[in-house]
Structures are given as C-alpha cells and as structure tokens.
Structure 1
Amino acid sequence: MIETLKEMFSFEHVKLDAVLEATYETLIMTGVATLFAFIIGLVLGLILFLSSRKRGAVSTPVYGATSFVVNLFRAIPFIILIILLMPFTKVLMGTIMGVWGAMPALIIGSAPFYARLAEIALKEIDKGVIEAAESMGASTWELVYKVLIPESLPALVSGITVTSIMLVGSTAIAGVIGAGGLGSLAYMVGFTRSQPDVTLVATVVILIIVFAIQIIGDLLAKVIDKR
C-alpha cells in the first residue's frame, strides 16, 4: 500500500506530452459533442414542447414519436450505445477508433438527454408571456426565436452545462475502448501498465475540466438571466 502511494505521488511515469495530447482529445470530443447536442437537443426539445401544447391529429403522433426516440436513446447505457453504433460509425466516420470514432455515440447519447432538459426549461416559461405573443399573431417561428428561446435561455445554458459535464464522463468511458483522451490515458496506460501516478494525473485533469465547465456555465447563466 505504501509503495503504491509512493509511486502515485512520484509522477515518474507521467509524460507531459501524453497528458497534453489526451487533454486536447478530451476537450475536442467534449466541445464538438456539446455543440451538436445543443443544436439537436434544442430542436427536439422545441418539438416536444410545441407538440405537447396542441393535441391533434398531427401534434399528438409527433409528440409520441419524438418522446419515444428521446426516451429510447436516453435509456441505453453509453457503453452499449457505442457498441450498437459501431457499424453506423464505421460508415459515417470511416473508423470506430480515436476521437472521431467516438463522436457519433457521444452526440446520439447526449442530444436526447439535453432534449429533456430543454423541454423542462421551456415548460418553466410563464404561460402568460406565450399567450400574449400568440394573441398578437406571432407565428410559430416568431414564438420560438422571440419568446421561447430568450425566456428560457438561462435554463438552457444550465442544461447544456450539465450535459457537457456528462459528456466529459462519457469521453472517459469511450477512452477505455480506444477513443483516446484522458479516459484512455488513465486506463490503457495508468491501469493496464500499473502506473497509478498516470491514472491520478488523468483524474485530476478531468476534475479540473469539470469544475471549469461548471464555473463558466454558472457565470454565463447568471449574466444572461435578467430577472
């Protein structure tokens, strides 16, 4: 036990270049996946919200189908989702390894998660504001970009912050099966080669990334919130 602790804090196996490269890969995976999760998730969230407000021959099936797809992909554990999407990933990206090989699973796994957060954020808008806009003849598109998104923006930012932090964890899982990043460094190098100092450093860097995302997200939400 004492020898393990000495090895962990000696950092003799830690290579700065490898840590920087793994950090860069994690940031790329998290950043790109967060961007697409925000766009796709927001669209899905708007569809869920708008179709749930008007029950009819079109809106009810739309809500049911969208809700089913969102719930389906949210329910699949991420590690299983990666495996299921391997044929699709191979066709789309040309590879199932590395940063870009993990991207489809990261996006498909996180977008439905954010869609529900977006739906919740939209439902928190004062109904009076929405009804006032509709009574003034606002079209659906005008309602979306003039009322729904501006009014729910602080909650949307908080939601994407949570989603981004979840994605950091997902990149670590993806790294275990060859996606690269800090997860791969911690497992492939730190664990399999019995180099606990590498695992420790990778873990600390992941924590720093998570804390940084949370701080930036909270500050941004506070700046945006004019209430």
Structure 2
Amino acid sequence: MTQPNPDTQWPRWEVFKQDTDKRPYQAVGSVHAGDPEHALLTARNVFVRRPAAVSLWAVREDDILTATPEELAGKPQLLQTAGAAGTYHVGVKKSHKRSMTFVDLVGTVEASGPGDALKQAQEAHADALAWLVFPDSAKVQTDDDAGTVESWFAPAQEKTYKQQQYYGTIGRHVGELKRSGLMPSRADVHPHVADQPAVQHHEEPVQ
C-alpha cells in the first residue's frame, strides 16, 4: 500500500480537557491540525460533545514525552532526553480500567529538560502505569475569560442531541428501508488526513 507523504500530513496534537474548575485536565484524544487555533477548534468540535467542559489545551505530539515502567526498563536513556529547561506539566495513568482518558495532569515540575521532568514524574508517582510530560511553553489553550467560556462551552449544555440517549427513531425504521431496498450504502463519516484519521480517541488503537 502506498504510504502517505509525511509532508502532506498535519501535525498531531494531544488534547487535554478540563470538565470543571475543580477537576484536573485529562488527555482525551488527539487531532490532526495545521496550527494551534485549528487544533483548538477541532478539539472543541470533537471532544466538547457533552456539557462538562470549561477549558481545552492542545500540545503537539512532538513536544510530549511519555513512558511506561516497561519502556523505561528497556530504554532507560529516555530519562536523559534533552530539551529546554523550564516548567513541565506532569500527567500520570493510575489504572488499567478502560477509560476515555489516557492520563490526568497532576501538577508541574521545574526541570532541565523533558528527560529530567520524566525522572521527577517517575520518582513522585512510582506506582503509575504511565507518565507524560511536556513543557508549559508548548501548550495552547482556550481563553479563561467569561466570554470565551460562554461562547465555546456553554452551548454544549443545550445540545443534548449529541448524547446518545437522546437519539430516537425518525421516519421509517431501518428494517423497512432494508426490505424496500432503500437503505443507503455505508460510508466512512470520520474525517481523515491522507490515510490517517483526523481524530483519535484514546479508547481507539493508534494506526
């Protein structure tokens, strides 16, 4: 199969969503986007489908360092990964339970680079199943002023039709359509960039 040209693919951005002011940011999936604003807009359209959301962050995949205990055992050099010094956000995965999220962000550390940040994350959360770090300077975020929160997130509270339980049967039943030969052929409704999905949820395998 012909492989896509990397130059034609938009970068992948990890999306972090905060449900309320008292909840941590959680890694909920990723999107392909050409620039920061595009990443946030796509993230809102995909991941803000239920009422709970007050803020979104997006971080380019290339700016994120992740590891599991098994990966660190096999590649301890990950703890030496070089990069800029500064404030790094730390995310941890605490459970094998199937979830819509990958990690919860649990705080920040001052580090000499991503490897040092990962080392500090490992030391502070030794029982974690996975660690994730990225520099604060790499994130883009929605504004936290009242106007932005209202325009970006409040509409989702009224759009209950986006929740599965609110979908109903409209018009003719699917069985009737099949019997009459009127059932349309199946189409892939998920957006793609080249041959990669434009959106990746964490419960789905990365292609």
Q: TM-score range by the shorter chain?
A: under 0.3
TM-score if structure 2 supplies the norm length?
A: 0.23
Q: Which has the larger radius of gyration?
A: 1
Which protein has greater RCO, CA pairs closer than 8 Å, 6+ apart?
1
Query: Between Structure 1 and Structure 2, which shows a larger proportion of strand residues?
Result: 2
Query: Between Structure 1 and Structure 2, which shows a larger proportion of helix residues?
Result: 1
